[in-house]
Copies of this chain bind each other. A is one copy, B any other.
Amino acid sequence: MRRLVIVSALSLAAASAYAQSKEPIGLRDMGSFHVGGRVIEITGQPVKEVVFTPGGVPAKVDPNGKYQVEQMYVQYFLPQNRKGRLPLLLWHGGGLTGVTYETKPDGGDGWLTYFIRKGWDSYISDAVERGRSGWTSTFKGEAVALPQGDPWERFRIGPAGSWNDDKSKRATYPGTQFPVDAYDQFMKQGVPRWLSTDDQIVAAYIALVDKVCPCVVMVHSQSGSFGYKVLEARPDKVKALVAVEPTLGGDRNKVDSIKNTPILVVYGDNAKDHPRWSKIRQGGVDYAAALKAAGGSIDIVDLPDAGIRGNSHMVMMDRNSDQVADLIQKWLVGKGLAE
């Protein structure tokens, strides 16, 4: 009998934790659209006969003509219980897509559902030439894909030399919060990316901002640079910028123009000491000093200094991602941008 009671209590605790993390999501609407891009023309190519489905009926395809290129895919979720005062735009980092913010590689809830549940109208996009935005062979250079070991060290899951093809021999930073058992699952989220498309990506983000903002923009990694560029182009429309592990700050010659937009910069663990990240972070710190000197508002949070330890570069996928999201949400509430 006593054993039964214990089991029941445990079941109840588990069910309650489940119910808490899986609070229903009520949406007044959801949907998607493509924005931006341009039309180019291809000429002088021969007409081809294409069998689209092996065994199917051939079709003639004339490859000459106009092509739609450089558009961007955006998916949105509008909660019934709206508490964010502006839309929240979630921009992912290099070699990835909006999936970054969806379910975590270990199956846990990611930041998209976190912020929807907090009442934010949330817009998640795939940068130009990635994911559902499509791509074309017209970009300069070749698309880069990453081998499985590369992000392990570059995204600070383990220190230099810690990668091993053998899963059981991979070392991590002590106390890492990245769900290392789900690392191979994380690598399934990767997409090739060009190194020559920043201008096209920024143009599409500006088209998005012109369509749905004023707003709050959240950026990660490579899109840190895009967030600053778009803020500099539309300082009246980007009402706050949350930069999670940005790889670059803004333009020091344009700090005057963006000083009315509060900025939060968040770095995870080991960023201060990592050979490459220490330089990236220092660049961010120096930029923040220049922005502050011009009267701007920028807060830099090194998570370990805030008592939040073990975060990799992929903060939103770490086991303690909700803890970091709480910190961001509190900052946004403090700026009067959410209830």
Contacts and interface: CB of A to CB of B under 8 A. Distances in A.
A204 to B, nearest CB: 11
Given A113-B30, A276-B59, A280-B57, A148 B66 contact: yes
A309 to B, nearest CB: 24
Interface in A164-196: 165, 184-185, 187-192, 195
A236 interface: no
Contact of A50 (B62, B144, B198): B144
Interface in A101-116: 102-103, 107, 109-110, 113
Interface stretch (A130-138, A262-270, A314-322): A130-138
Nearest to A144: B50
B192 A135 contact: yes
Contacts of A144: 50, 61
A247 interface: yes
Interface residues of A, number: 82
A188 B113 contact: no
Contact of A22 (B29, B99, B280, B283): B29
Given A66-B147, A68-B148, A57 B192 contact: no
Contacts of A150: 61-62, 65
A99 B113 contact: no
Contacts of A39: 148, 184
The 6 closest A-B pairs by CB, nearest first: A65-B147, A34-B188, A31-B103, A134-B191, A71-B188, A32-B102
Interface of A: 22, 24-34, 37, 39, 42, 50-57, 59, 61-68, 71, 73, 75, 80, 94, 97-99, 102-103, 107, 109-110, 113, 126, 131-132, 134-137, 143-150, 154, 165, 184-185, 187-192, 195, 198, 222, 224-225, 247-248, 276, 279-280, 283
